[in-house]
Amino acid sequence: MSKDYYNILGVNKSASADEIKTAFRKKAHQHHPDKGGDAEKFKELNEAYQVLSNPQKRQQFDQFGSDFQNGQAGGGGYGGFGGQGFGQGMNINMDDLGDLFGGFGDIFGGFGGGHRSRRASKGQDLVLDIKIDFKEAAFGADKEIAYPRVGNCPDCHGSGAAAGTKVNTCATCHGHGKVTRLQRTILGNIQTQVVCPDCQGEGRIPEKKCSHCQGAGRARVEEKFTVKIPAGIDNGESIRVAGRGEVSEKGIPAGDLLVRVKIAPHRSLKREGDDVRSSENIDVKTAILGGKITVETLDGTFDLKIPEGTQPNTVFRLKDRGITRLRGRGRGDHFVEVKVNIPKTISKQAKKFLEELKF
């Protein structure tokens, strides 16, 4: 009986290769026997995918239907599938499935496991906390930092080979870092690529291993360099420095370093976004008659004019004397709140003077 493989996978005849793979992964997950699904339905899905994921077989199926294999060399594959690589059963490339089942090999009696794990895309990231002062956060700074990490071995410079010796191409995988294995399962023969057991996926083997790192190419080192703190960075924000994290396997980029800043508080200034706030005390005389007071700002001291009749808690704005904007141009402002000191006791003469005043 002819089968409609498109209908089995739930895709249109015009479906792309990626759409076919996505549909297969979704339905295979749904019907996987290890997750309580139907084993026969699972086999049928695999049968459909093996045809539609192969351009040549898909073309033949579109022309002759699922019986196209009957005119080819038969074989021992299940369901009468033969020829075109099906003579010994299905060949499933595990890379098509990815990590679909979180341990796909369990249904095959332990097949797969750690040997199927892919190499990391990069080394581990590191986080380093550093403390900077208030003005360094406002205007930026260059800070020298030091921290331990796994880096390239200082003796072999990451090659893993002893000085004066060569690094040879792995004879087992011929430099590819992976080898192909075939596993017989209830679904037929499953072909998968695993990390080469001899070179551990690196594709090269040192003629003589470095005595310091035992051929790993990496070792614990003390890293030192200068990091640029951008002007306007806020407390708890991080700077990502590419390639300054942990070094992993040879041929894989190092991880990144996240430099997280902690800003020490200022004795008189407080930050609000890109603005700065402070408070100053003035006496009654200055509040009434006016005058000048010296204010501490990020740019040094500033003479602030106090107009006559200034009321308590009046806020003065010092334009463009705040924090440098990290995302934008210019700087914030500095707001100064004045507090009027009212004396608790005054002399009889001062009291008489105040009583005679008419406001």
In tens, the pLDDT along 31-63 reads 877 677 788 888 888 888 989 998 888 888 888
Look up residue 187 and give its amino acid: L
pLDDT of residue 336: 98
Tokens standing for 13?
Answer: 């005849």
pLDDT: is 159 or 281 the higher one?
281
pLDDT of residue 122: 86
The CA distance from 27 to 37, in Å, is: 10
Mean pLDDT taken over the chain = 83
- Compute the residue count for the chain: 359
In this prediction, residue 65 has a pLDDT band, given cuts at 50, 70 and 90, of confident
CB hemisphere CA count around 168 (13 angstroms): 9
Tell me: pLDDT of 216 over 80: yes
pLDDT: is 191 or 233 the higher one?
233
Overall average pLDDT of the 286-291 stretch: 94
Overall average pLDDT of the 93-100 stretch: 50
> 57-61, 188-192, 199-203, 274-278: which range is least confident on average?
188-192
Residue with tokens 């990390």: 195
Closest by CA position to 325, among listed 268, 286, 288, 273: 273
Closest by CA position to 48, among listed 114, 2, 4: 4
In this prediction, residue 262 has a pLDDT band, given cuts at 50, 70 and 90, of very high
pLDDT digits (tens, 9 = 90+) for 317-353: 999 999 999 988 999 999 999 999 998 888 988 888 8
Tell me: pLDDT of 22 over 70: yes
The CA distance from 184 to 91, in Å, is: 9
The CA distance from 192 to 93, in Å, is: 5
pLDDT digits (tens, 9 = 90+) for 74-96: 333 333 333 333 333 444 554 55
What domains can be seen in the chain, in order of their start residue?
Answer: 5-88 (1.10.287.110), 126-263 (2.10.230.10), 270-356 (2.60.260.20)
pLDDT of residue 115: 39
Tell me: pLDDT of 67 over 70: no
